[in-house]
Structure 1
């Protein structure tokens, strides 16, 4: 099961009670109730608590957009610090992801943990001016 719920799993024109929303999103009813406490708008507070599908979609999209972190041009995302950090000596391994993207992997200059960033192959030349590229091996294959 994915950690994140897919906003498209609910129909925007329908209404859901807590258990129906939980089933549609693959989450527990307690998670849906926590989202309501966190700000998911409901149509009726009395039982059954009704939530519009459109409200669920908007809530999840806003929640996931807020969780994304913007990186500056010379940063990778450090998995340990959970923030954008510069790699040691701006040296990164270049690992092909697929036909359109490449993964940059380096070491965080703050804690030494693995830092990564996925870039578009069309923008690789711009990143090559910032980082010292080293050929890396694809360990996931």
Structure 2
């Protein structure tokens, strides 16, 4: 067997031919545009503070940030939410408290709310034995129970 017919030798020669010139040359700016302008002076912070050291901190920036002035509550006009879509089913009056039974129109769920309690940012007030009112931001919505049969 000759030296040229040995497959291990031909692989070694191929590796040396391809790897040799690549390791001795640095890429040109056209081949690696991200390296343009990168000098050792500009990479000093990376050399002095390696990326994965626990003491590495971001640089301190001495820029002032303009924060907008706070808006006074009187300057903002509050728009009330849509009144809840509820049906007054009943009012429970005891010596200690009054509660309203309200049915959600969409789900059919019954809500039991005390006088003065909130429901979706609307305050409930029980007006009389057949009427409740929800109030929010000066707006009011009344709900009446069915009229009695005579």
TM-score, normalised by the number of residues in structure 2: 0.24
More helix by share: 1
Q: Which has the larger radius of gyration?
A: 2
TM-score, normalised by the number of residues in structure 1: 0.25
